[in-house]
Amino acid sequence: MRLENKVALVTGAARGIGKAIVLAFAQEGADLALADIEEATLDQTKQEIASLGRRVFAQRCDVSDPSQVERLVTDAERTLGPIDILVNNAGIGGGGGVWETDHQTWQRILGVNLMGAYYFSHRVLPRMIERKRGRIINIASIGGKIPFHHSAAYVTSKHGLIGMTRSIALDTATLGITCNAICPSWTLTEMALSYARSLMASQNITLEEALAHMPTNPQNRIMDAAEVAQLAVMLASDAAAGITGQAINVDGGAVMY
């Protein structure tokens, strides 16, 4: 098993890409600390991890609140030990153009998508540096490389997340730590389904037709969360020791850089 006896902390772990990652990590031998704002679904995911025979800690956390981040990491380390792998996956969308997005919405999107990743990285890095090993994986988006229409705050946050990824990678390159970003395109999660349902309502089409409208990549398909999870497993493993500072797309060829 590629992650045997490693301790991984994953934010946004209750569903979607985050849940796919924690299940893949558990199957590869990792013990898991789970963070999510949705307590009911978080508990369900915790039970699934426990059924795989791994140690698991779960706690509700608003990642945009540094005091909640501090409490969660402290409690997780007390329960499981030092964090070997951090996956900053929590994220939200919404907003519009810059002129359409009010201050509160802008701050909320950047608070979750960018500041949350900063708070967790800031908290776990000193001990990773002390132990001379660690993996940080930031779940960005192809929206961190190209802009989307009417998503200014989201696009800004994901561009910033890739920038932070490269900065951490450079500053820790000789310290046994790697930091990489994964950039998915549309992935079959609740967020994608929510968008598909809005297309159903606005265009009077079926769910299948709405999903078929969404892919804009050469493979003409929506990505599966398991594809993102398997890349995360590889980046978290010892086999990826030489991979750092990269923003790797899982997008069916939509963005080829």
Catalytic machinery residues = 154
Q: Which amino acid appears at position 213 of this protein? A: H
Which has the closest alpha carbon to 99: 150, 41, 63? 150
The first and second tokens of residue 249, run together, are 């797309």
Give dist(CA 82, CA 125) in Å, integer.
11
229: exposed, middle or buried (Cβ count in 10 Å: 0-12, 13-18, 19+): buried
Could you tell me if 109 and 54 are in contact, meaning their C-beta atoms sit under 8 angstroms apart? no
